[in-house]
Amino acid sequence: FAKERLALRYGAHLRRDPLCRLHLSEGRRDPYPIYEEVRARGPLSRSTAKLWVSASHDICGQVLRDRRFGVQMRAEDQRSGSPQLSFLEMDPPEHTRLRRFVMPTFSPKAVASFDGQITEIVTGLLDAVPAEGRFDLVAGYAAPMPIAVITRLLGIPDANSAEFQRYGATFGSALGGLQSLKHARELFEAQRQLRRIFIDLCELRRTEPGDDVISRMVAAPDTQVGPDDLVPLCTLLLIAGFETTVNLIGNTVLALLERPEAWRRVAEDPSLVDAAVEETLRFDPPVQRTARVAREDVELGGLRVAAGDVIITMIGGTGRDPQVVDRPDEFDLDRSHRDHLAFSAGLHYCVGAPLAKLEATIAVRELIARFPDLTIDGPGRRRAGSLIRGLASLPVRIRRSR
Ligand code: HEM
């Protein structure tokens, strides 16, 4: 009886907690009203014990840019710069060393040179789509495209690419949370196999260098990247390549197809694709939140955040903050406001942002050019988990081209 009472009390408490509600089907379907409730409590408020939450654009932007907040929760990781972590989970100076190393590969100039390769991948995928009838936009298009791009960028040989893509997809799917014991076993196995693929590949690139990121890594002096850095670094790029851009493509296409007038405008004027992708990053971003830990006591929004406290920055909510955006719940191709936090801000600002935007722009542009009469054909299915927002499937119908 005592247990039951505890469960009831605990259950009621959890049902009120915005972070818990984001995980429930309510939050996965539509998290935006929950962010609004968070904002109604104030720009910064307490969630469960020791956790702060914010959906305010101003507060989240401040936290992400403020060096008094870091990403490493555990003191021992901070001391050792643990090699198990990717640099997304590291603070300076370790973070600086590794980030500096990958930056040139993803600079806007370097990324612009991938344009031809991306267009080639996209054209190949569109050629494989049936000329008429129904297909799944996610499995048939949005998912394989960024996977093919990162596979090429990492210089995975053709012979290993199917295996790499299979394990990568399993590994990436765990970002949404583990679904079962079987899933946990598959994840463990995928992790082991990917580690083996990366170690073999590093070995291969030592003797047969190519024009790819892994060849540059193994040729670099140990002071820049050491052997312990290689696997976590490759894994970070893989996850980023497998699990994020697919949702930017899916969320953009969904937002347009749900608004036939917007779809028609973009079909008639492809220069609007860029605005559609930017507006999706504000309106329905693939990464919904991140977190920072205070490294010292900080005064923020009139409140005292103690050293060691964690703040959940609700990126998905910041794009709809009425303090900075007019009519925040409207998807509007004509907005000039582009100051969103979809790629975070400050030291950890997404390294792959120029690549992700280029991929999504080409993918949406070519899709609309090829199938201007595309329509949604039945309900889509949302991904599991609430950290990454996107579709697991979106049935669409192609009518014969005009
Ligand atoms: C970091 C979003 C695509 C590579 C981040 C962060 C966000 C983000 C929010 C920072 C998290 C934090 O501050 O805690 C996205 C979105 C993408 C995308 C929405 C697609 C639409 C990519 C791609 C790559 C990439 C394609 C590269 C292949 C990275 C890396 C970091 C990062 C390496 C770590 C940066 C650091 O810690 O300094 N991304 N990302 N991302 N992203 Fe992306």
Ligand 1 centroid, distance to 168 Cα (angstroms):
17
Among residues 334, 237, 333, 248, the alpha carbon closest in space to that of 287 is found at 248
**Domain residue spans of the chain:** 2-398
Q: Are 239 and 175 in contact (CB under 8 A)?
A: yes
The DSSP element (H or E) to which 395 belongs, if any, is: strand 395-398
pLDDT of residue 157: 87
Beta bridge partners of 135: 396
| Burial class (CB within 10 angstroms; exposed 0-12, middle 13-18, buried 19+) of 44 | buried
Ligand 1 centroid, distance to 265 Cα (angstroms):
30
Among residues 374, 364, 350, the alpha carbon closest in space to that of 280 is found at 364
pLDDT of residue 90: 92
Q: Does 244 contact ligand 1 (Cβ within 6 A)?
A: yes
Q: Does 233 contact ligand 1 (Cβ within 6 A)?
A: no
CA 209 to chain centroid, in Å, comes to: 30
Q: How many residues does the chain have?
A: 402
Q: Does 317 contact ligand 1 (Cβ within 6 A)?
A: no
Q: Which atom of ligand 1 is nearest to the CA of 64?
A: 13
Ligand 1 centroid, distance to 349 Cα (angstroms):
7
Residue with tokens 């995975």: 156
Contacts of 13 by beta carbon, 8 Å cutoff, 6+ apart: none
Amino acid at 99: R
pLDDT of residue 400: 65
d(CA 35, CA 390): 17
Q: Are 236 and 86 in contact (CB under 8 A)?
A: yes
d(CA 278, CA 361): 10
Q: Are 34 and 27 in contact (CB under 8 A)?
A: yes
Residue nearest to atom 6 of ligand 1 (CA): 350
Q: What class does CATH assign to 2-398?
A: mainly alpha
Strands annotated E in 7-152:
45-46, 51-54, 69-70, 133-136
pLDDT of residue 231: 86
Q: Does 151 contact ligand 1 (Cβ within 6 A)?
A: no
| Residue of 71, 95, 152, 244 best suited for mutating to test ligand 1, as the one with most atoms within 8 Å of CB | 244
Which of left, alpha, beta for 317 (phi over 0: left; psi -120 to 50: alpha)?
alpha
Q: Does 350 contact ligand 1 (Cβ within 6 A)?
A: yes
Question: Model pTM?
Answer: 0.93
**CA within 13 Å, CB half, 289:** 24
Whether the link from the prior residue into 93 is cis, omega within 30° of 0, is: yes
**Exposed e or buried b per residue across 231-267, where buried means at least 16 C-beta atoms within 10 angstroms of its C-beta:** bbbbbbbbbbbbbbbbbbbbbbbbbbbebeebbebbb
ipTM over 0.90: yes
**Exposed e or buried b per residue across 298-333, where buried means at least 16 C-beta atoms within 10 angstroms of its C-beta:** bebbeeebeeebbbbbbbbbbbbbeebbeebeebbb
The DSSP element (H or E) to which 311 belongs, if any, is: strand 310-313
Q: Does 149 contact ligand 1 (Cβ within 6 A)?
A: no
Q: What is the mean pLDDT of each run of 10 residues along the chain (402 residues)?
A: 57 75 89 96 86 97 97 63 73 91 89 92 94 91 93 87 86 75 89 90 91 86 78 88 93 98 98 98 97 96 94 98 96 91 97 96 97 94 91 91 51
Tokens of 280: 């999706």
Ligand 1 centroid, distance to 308 Cα (angstroms):
24
pLDDT of residue 118: 95
Q: Does 343 contact ligand 1 (Cβ within 6 A)?
A: yes
Ligand 1 centroid, distance to 321 Cα (angstroms):
22
Ligand 1 centroid, distance to 103 Cα (angstroms):
12
Residue with tokens 């997809």: 169
